[in-house]
Amino acid sequence: MSDNESLTPRVFIIRHGETEWAKLGRQTGKTDIGLTVLGAAQVHSAASHLVGKGRLLDPNKLARIFVSPRKRAQDTLAGLLGDHLHGLREWGVEVTTTEDVAEWDYGDYEGLLLSEIREGRKKRGLDGEGVVWNVWRDGCEGGEVKEQVTERLDRVISSIRDIQGPCMRGEKPADVLVVAHGVILRAFVMRWLGYPLEMPLNMMLAPGSVGVLSYKNNNVEEPAFHIGMALPVES
């Protein structure tokens, strides 16, 4: 990583650890379900390897945290930052709990498997031959459509750019942490790059995993994502 890149503010996106429904493949939106034992361990592992002074996610460089109100996200934030979280609040780092980064509202599809959703839609004549349900394009009956998700994510991204725009060369700490859910974070990446949600872009984000977004050329008008990022070198 060049010196310029090391100064450019970053956005860390963290998916909550495993839950029972995630393990089973059930669509989990508003249902407030906690982490499994493995899910908590995933978060602890991420914290032990990545969080700390001079590490990839350095609490001293954080300016803002956005977190979903769901328990699985709240517990992930607490497990990830541990004692750092209390210190950050004392130092004036705002921790914003907001529905704007809550999981996609699945409405009538809540708790269903992907196969069950597609079979039900076909029976109701919503999907024709060779057409299968795609949340990015079709949204959810009784839940959210892509326009609603786009609107709320764009609000968060606009707030982040306001924070980071004046700090493109390390003028002050400006990293941002977003702790949320698998589908909404993939949607977040799409909107960060300025793409419509329905544009095909296959992405994977495992439970407890970390993604990094930033900007090219120290320019807030050139949002980008790291497909590979060098870890900090210990001094």
- 156-160, 211-215, 231-235: the lowest-pLDDT one: 231-235
| Residue 25 lies in domain | 3-225
Q: Is 16 a catalytic residue?
A: yes
Whether the predicted pLDDT of 199 surpasses 50: yes
In this structure, is residue 232 part of a structural domain? Answer: no
- For residue 146, what are the contacts with CB-CB under 8 A and spacing of at least 6? 136, 137, 139, 196, 197, 198
How far is it, in rounded angstroms, from Cα 183 to Cα 191?
Answer: 13
In this structure, is residue 27 part of a structural domain? Answer: yes
In this structure, is residue 9 part of a structural domain? Answer: yes
pLDDT at 146: 97
Is residue 75 marked as binding?
Answer: no
> Which of 84, 103, 144, 181 is flagged as catalytic?
103
Q: Is 103 a catalytic residue?
A: yes
Average pLDDT, the chain: 94
Is residue 72 marked as binding?
Answer: yes
- What are 148's two structure tokens? 């609603």
The CATH code of the domain that includes 170 is 3.40.50.1240
4-28: per-residue pLDDT in tens? 567 899 999 999 999 999 999 999 9
In this structure, is residue 165 part of a structural domain? Answer: yes
How far is it, in rounded angstroms, from Cα 202 to Cα 187?
Answer: 11
Confidence of residue 90 (pLDDT cuts 50, 70, 90): confident
In this structure, is residue 21 part of a structural domain? Answer: yes
Is residue 28 marked as binding?
Answer: yes
How far is it, in rounded angstroms, from Cα 11 to Cα 210?
Answer: 10
In this structure, is residue 128 part of a structural domain? Answer: yes
Structural domains in the chain (count): 1
Is residue 138 marked as binding?
Answer: no
> Which of 16, 18, 84, 181 is flagged as catalytic?
16
Is residue 104 marked as binding?
Answer: yes
In this structure, is residue 233 part of a structural domain? Answer: no
Rounded to the nearest angstrom, the gap between the alpha carbon of residue 165 and the centroid of all alpha carbons in its chain is: 20
- 95-99, 108-112, 182-186, 200-204: the lowest-pLDDT one: 200-204
In this structure, is residue 113 part of a structural domain? Answer: yes
What's the predicted TM-score (pTM) here? 0.94
Kindly give the pairing relationship between strand 210-215 and strand 11-15.
antiparallel
Length of the chain measured in residues: 235
